[in-house]
Structure 1
Amino acid sequence: MPVVQTIPSRRGVSLLGIGCGIGAGALWGLVFLAPELAGMFRPLELTIGRYIAYGLIALIAVAPRLRRLVHHIGGPGLIALVWLSLAGNTVYYFLLSAAVQMGGIAMTSLIIGFLPVAVTIIGSREHDAVPLIRLMPSLLLCAGGGLCIGWQAVGQNSFDQLIGMACATGALISWTAYAVGNARWLVRFHAISAQDWNLLIGVMTGAQALCLVPVAMVMGVAHHAGADWTRLLIVSGGVALLASIAGNALWNRASRLLPLTLVGQMILFETLFALLYGFLWEARWPTMAEVGAFGLLVASITACLAAHRGRGGA
């Protein structure tokens, strides 16, 4: 059984950590496009496709070290992999896909933009963390950005929009649990590289996706043309490789280099890039509410960085 270590202080503002956070956000933002690119498939089918691809890629990459890694993490680590895979991948992506298809990319991405508020508040309880009062301007700006687009969605008075908001909120809760739990387990298993931990989660997520195949069959698979299945294969493989393999690896690296209060703010880059991709995909200019939300989110990141620099950065 691995030794559980006390979470060390990660006070400094690491430029490499910030760069990894930005890179992860840019790749994760592509996830919001997937339900639109393969919109003829249901959220469950999109989830299964993405995570079977993720699991296969991860298994091939980690196979030579798999037995040693499983022995190292032991039973507690395996249990952690199960719930982290559910919270951060399977449940999260199913809810996110449903939210995008029912509420649109902009609404979904900006509700997910509340993630930094939850993660930062939790992270402020860590030993030697930046005091919550110093992070309050950043949190208020972030919340203001989410409220801008949330008010716009409610104002449309659409049942699909409201259901989409509910799914996006569920995805927000699910991924908050993952972000906090994953950061803590990365510290506990410090001897395992961030990429190997990501691959282990990938293998577990792939196994969960396989378990969902019978569920999808019971629900019935709609008839699709061959070109549709080809598109699903390409989208699933692309998202798995770019977002799940490369994006998660960058995120895990950032989680080890930055304090949790700052890691939370890095999630905003996913929101910002998702908004940009969404506007390009929909070939439209943002509304005034979306422009306001975008500006508030950028200001939130800037304020959070300033609060951490005040502690002395690396």
Structure 2
Amino acid sequence: MLSGTLFALAAGLMWGLVFIGPVLLSDYPAVMLTFGRYLAFGLIALPLAWLDRASLRRFSRADWREALRLAVVGNVLYYLLLSSAIQRSGVPLPTLFIGTLPVVIALSARLRSRQGGTPAALPRWTSLAPPLLLIAAGIGLVNQAELAALRQDPQADLGRYALGALLAVGAVACWTWYPLRNADWLQAHPDRSPRSWATAQGLMTLPLGLAGYAATWITFTLTDAPLPMPLGPRPALFAGLMLLIALSASWLGTLCWNEASQRLPTHLAGQLIVFETLAALGYAYAWRGHWPDGLSLTGAALLVAGVLWALNAGRRDARPQAHAPMA
């Protein structure tokens, strides 16, 4: 339990970095950030795959297909939606949407186990209502703080801000599916190395990143987009940041999460995703160069309190009168 929690903490600290990339490179479109990141991840995975070649040979075609599915949804689609949301709404609001993942994942895990015939009870809505209200209030307060800042900017676009919030919801959907599916595979293959599984997913992102980046380059060239290709207006920063995020967040973060997923029940691992939210908010306000205001601090505190309350309520309700293992 202790080592699994520490691995989840390390993953959260590294994943928090991905929220800053779209801010540092705000003049780059989200599609370029996404495919640049995963092209770099795929290239980093090549030497790692050579070192892990003995373990990778044990993977079947079905395993590689699963790694590809995880790479498409949990990596490429998730980050495309998230980076688009951040560039439209700023960091805090999409971060808090992602912060609801522990509750969404825990509920989804229990729903899946129930539908699969496992007698895992679902938390009662009467137990969930108060913490869900706290979560909604937390998101609402941060939203109010961000909207107040937007109203002070005469060039602000509220429609763009709302679209960012909607894209963040799509990112939540992707990252609800990914950890559950990833944990299913890891728990079904306890003899496989989490490091090799992280590397396998990295290898699957290489053709995705290469094809996506090439398509982006061709599209920008044909449409005379005002963006110098292949590395944009700040090539050194772009290439360096893509490599840093690919190594720390994509590979090391996935490795740490895989280690945590093999050691912890799915619902507990879902709870610890809150580390990512706190890290991302900390990085965002550090980049802005000021502490969050009272509304934002209160909103973040309400969100964390609501998440922990909801998961604790869920565990109490899922605890059987006599049986029912947790999902």
TM range (shorter): 0.7 to 0.9
- 1:237-264 alpha-carbon deviations (Å, 9 max, x no partner): 1111111121111111111111111111
Alignment partner of 1:265 is 2:301? no
| 1:72-93 Cα shifts (integer Å, max 9, x gaps) | 3312212211110011110111
* Deviation of 1:187 (Å): 1.1
Question: Which 10-residue stretch deviates more, 168-177 or 157-166?
Answer: 157-166
3-state SS of paired residue (1:44): helix
Q: Equivalents in 2 of 1:86, 1:185: separation in Å?
A: 16
Partner of 1:223: 228
Aligned mates of 1:226, 1:213 — CA distance in 2: 12
State the distance in 1 between where 2:138 and 2:172 align.
Answer: 15
Taking the aligned partners of 1:161 and 1:184, their CA distance within structure 2 comes to 35
Q: Normalising to structure 1: TM-score of the pair?
A: 0.85
Alignment of 1:203-242 (within 5 A): 203-220=203-220, 222-223=227-228, 228-242=234-248
Q: Which residue of 1 aligns with 2:67?
A: 81
Gaps of 5+ in 2: 151-156, 222-226, 320-327
> Structure 1 residue 20 and structure 2 residue 23: aligned?
no
Which of residues 295, 300, 303 in structure 2 aligns to 1:297? 303
Alignment of 1:20-169 (within 5 A): 20-66=7-53, 68-70=55-57, 72-125=58-111, 126=113, 127=118, 132-133=123-124, 136=128, 141-150=134-143, 158-169=158-169
Distance 1:251 1:129, change over 3 A: farther
C-alpha RMSD of matched pairs (Å): 2.9
User: Which residue identity does 2:281 align to in structure 1?
Assistant: L
Q: Measure, in 2, the Cα distance between the counterparts of 1:130 and 1:112.
A: 25
- Uncovered stretches (5+) of structure 1, i.e. residues with no partner: 1-13
Q: Deviations over 1:195-221 (max 9, x none)?
A: 111110011012210111232023216
With structure 2 as the length reference, what TM-score do the two structures score?
A: 0.81
Q: Say which SS state the counterpart of residue 38 (structure 2) adopts.
A: helix
2: CA distance, partners of 1:170 / 1:15: 32
Question: Identity of paired residues, percent?
Answer: 33
C-alpha contact (below 8 Å) 1:17/1:254 kept by paired residues: yes
Contact 2:55 / 2:193 at 8 angstroms: preserved in 1? no
Tell me the matched-pair count.
299
CA contact (8 A) 1:114 1:143 kept: no
Distance change (3 Å), C-alpha of 1:170 and 1:226: closer
